[in-house]
Amino acid sequence: MLKGFRQFLLRGNVVDLAVGVVIGAAFGALVTAFVKDLLTPLIAAVAGKPDFSAFFFVVNGAKFAYGDFFNMVISFLLISAAVYFCVIVPVNKMVSRARREPPADPATKKCPECLMEIPIDARRCGHCASELTRQAA
């Protein structure tokens, strides 16, 4: 029974998932600190007070703290923007740069008489039967 459990834990996908969760948690803390310590004070310097937690209203003794909701919405938007511009955009550029392949040599050419596509090595057009010269590419 313990042997099977050990095999389950040591399978590649379980270990990969565990590593991904740990790295994801660390990255989440990093992005949260970036937004809290750098972006929010920057907004405070430009726009004034960034903390809306003191805003609320009371209806029949029930307190509606809409300021906390605004804080969470702003935090979510800032975290999303930070992840997009600092992670997604650079990774997408790096992946697209790695996937670029040189253009393949053309396999066909146009017939100068009928403008139909024909094989690149053809000496006569299969559509109009005109003879082709080397320059008719």
pLDDT at site 59: 92
Range of the domain at 55: 2-99
pLDDT at site 135: 53
Cα 13 to Cα 114: distance, rounded to the nearest angstrom: 58
Residues 117 and 90 in one domain: no
Number of domains in the chain: 2
The pTM of the full predicted model, rounded to 2 decimals, is: 0.48
pLDDT at site 136: 42
E strands along 9-105, which residues? 57-59, 62-64
pLDDT at site 1: 74
Residues 23 and 82 in one domain: yes
Q: How far is CA 10 from CA 19, 22, 25, 47, 120, in A?
A: 12, 16, 21, 52, 55
Residues 113 and 91 in one domain: no
Residues 73 and 131 in one domain: no
Tens of pLDDT along the chain (137 residues) come to: 778 877 776 776 777 787 788 888 888 888 778 877 887 777 777 777 667 777 888 999 998 888 888 878 887 887 788 778 888 899 889 888 888 777 777 888 888 888 888 888 888 888 888 888 765 44
pLDDT at site 39: 74
Residues 95 and 109 in one domain: no
Q: Choose among 48, 40, 33: nearest CA to 73.
A: 40
Q: Choose among 112, 42, 121: nearest CA to 74.
A: 42
Q: Choose among 128, 123, 127: nearest CA to 136.
A: 123
Residues 70 and 125 in one domain: no
